[in-house]
Structure 1
């Protein structure tokens, strides 16, 4: 019996090469931990296709997007992270019979992915981890969103105390759950929340959470690591990895085998001290005032 193919989707743009290196490293990790019998394909949505010339063969498709498309994807309320939903939807429309699996660049697979793929076959969507439900949220952003939106309807979804926020470092939609319709529902909810003046910080993530949990939804943290809170250490590891790949003249498949021997004894999140938080806060304010953000 043939297995439903996995369509892996990545999105990155801009000149900062460490994001592009993270993306390729994430792809390598997925190949290293995917069972041989499962067909899969990678689509990379980017404005820098020249950064992906090392990737050769039918396994990879690089979709170049111009600034005009990125501007269009920001939508009627000029919301930057709406681009993420649009990019996933763009690829899902071209591969509607595949499981639709998006990863942020700062993720890696760290164990066999068979259970994740089998769960998708059975109609179970995945995001990285549940962050909070409205009923129990304690964070500043969650409280603001709860106060603003509880009881309101955005698109297909009415917010209740059980409405949950999931981390969108992983967005995996089973082919059984109509990825295109699911993502269109997320877009509609996203635009409705923007129109209503909802706290914007996590709107695209919350919209995806609502859309995916309309069907069965589970976490993916048992096989995927998301190092959003410790990028400097991980970037150093990845830079060293690709330096060795370059110096040895290795192919992508060679790099996959090298990855299998790589140690990842690094934390995914490093908590800032109070002094570091203060310094970073000052730096962000300065950059905002000087137009660097």
Structure 2
């Protein structure tokens, strides 16, 4: 097991697809060594991870934490930053690497681990300056403003937080400050969107050298529908064949992840025509069972 590195996932709420995604992501990680990694899942549904009990540890979120962590602005994604802070506070001498639920490990995370151990931050990718699109609501509402000593300028970049790696030497300070920055930005924004992502990006960029993991980790945020269908099919097959975890990991040897898009975009004209056709010619005629009276 890699000493002093926690690989972390966060899941809460009632959406089963998120738990399935994390389960699948963990399996993809385990293909690189069943007991090589200190994997921790922070969740309010520990029962969903019982099958993985030999390979992971679980930190249980309380109802009070889930209720209070969105903060004064009731901002849902603030919970992610608070959950990571909880992990870091519980083990301040360990580096932490967070993976979003909708990720798949194409290769072993050794490069990411090495970068974090060398004192760098790691994100999934650099999405570029928020000023690049002058109509971006974040840029329009936050430009030239200062949050906890960090000024949003034309050079301010958004890092994708599908991966967040932080060295132990800075993890607590970066997360604490990112939460403050997030709250201050929420004061200025009508629509919060993924402002927690911007907050952790700008905070880490001030404190640390930043690297990116988009060549090691697939982050399919732009094609979850197709990936969810594939994951459900995989899990049904494993259930019906009564696979062990080892069997499930072995089955992934035949899974060609790079053939599945991580992002798809539907053309608007295509959607409009389909919407019109569905109204004019309904595709589904429904009939229901009628029990005897």
Give 1:207's aligned residue: 199
Cα distance, 1:146 vs. partner?
Answer: 1.8
**Taking structure 1 as reference, are residues 130 and 152 closer, same or farther at Cα in structure 2, changes over 3 Å only?**
same
Note if 1:268 corresponds to 2:248.
no
Q: Could you tell me which of 86, 90, 103 is aligned with 1:94? A: 90
Note if 1:66 corresponds to 2:65.
no
Separation of aligned partners in 2, 1:67 and 1:35: 32
Cα distance, 1:198 vs. partner?
Answer: 6.0
Note if 1:258 corresponds to 2:257.
no
Give 1:289's aligned residue: none
SS of residue paired to 1:78: coil
Separation of aligned partners in 1, 2:89 and 2:150: 23
**Taking structure 1 as reference, are residues 76 and 16 closer, same or farther at Cα in structure 2, changes over 3 Å only?**
closer
Give 1:184's aligned residue: 176
**Taking structure 1 as reference, are residues 166 and 157 closer, same or farther at Cα in structure 2, changes over 3 Å only?**
same
Cα distance, 1:72 vs. partner?
Answer: 0.5
Q: Is the 8 A contact 2:134 2:140 kept in 1?
A: no
Cα-to-partner distance string for 1:229-258 (whole Å, 9 max, x where unaligned): 111211121112212222232232332222
Cα distance, 1:268 vs. partner?
Answer: 0.4
**Taking structure 1 as reference, are residues 15 and 4 closer, same or farther at Cα in structure 2, changes over 3 Å only?**
same
TM-score by length of 1: 0.85
**Taking structure 1 as reference, are residues 151 and 35 closer, same or farther at Cα in structure 2, changes over 3 Å only?**
farther
Q: Is the 8 A contact 1:156 1:189 kept in 2?
A: no
**Taking structure 1 as reference, are residues 16 and 199 closer, same or farther at Cα in structure 2, changes over 3 Å only?**
closer
Cα distance, 1:34 vs. partner?
Answer: 5.7
Q: Could you tell me which of 126, 132, 138 is aligned with 2:133? A: 138
Give 1:121's aligned residue: 117
SS of residue paired to 1:237: helix
Separation of aligned partners in 2, 1:188 and 1:180: 13
Unaligned 5+ segments in structure 1 are 282-293
SS of residue paired to 2:153: coil
Give 2:43's aligned residue: 46
Separation of aligned partners in 2, 1:199 and 1:104: 22
How many residue pairs align between the two structures?
273
Note if 1:85 corresponds to 2:81.
yes
Q: Which moves more between the two structures, 63-72 or 117-126?
A: 63-72
Unaligned 5+ segments in structure 2 are 276-293
User: Which of 1 and 2 has greater Rg?
Assistant: 2
| Mapping for residues 163-178 of structure 1, pairs under 5 Å | 163-176=156-169, 178=170
SS of residue paired to 2:161: coil
Cα distance, 1:149 vs. partner?
Answer: 1.8
Separation of aligned partners in 2, 1:278 and 1:68: 44
Q: Is the 8 A contact 2:6 2:95 kept in 1?
A: yes
Q: Is the 8 A contact 1:100 1:175 kept in 2?
A: yes
Separation of aligned partners in 2, 1:27 and 1:64: 18
Separation of aligned partners in 1, 2:37 and 2:10: 17
Give 2:186's aligned residue: 194
Separation of aligned partners in 2, 1:222 and 1:120: 16
Give 1:31's aligned residue: 30
Q: Could you tell me which of 237, 242, 249 is aligned with 1:244? A: 237
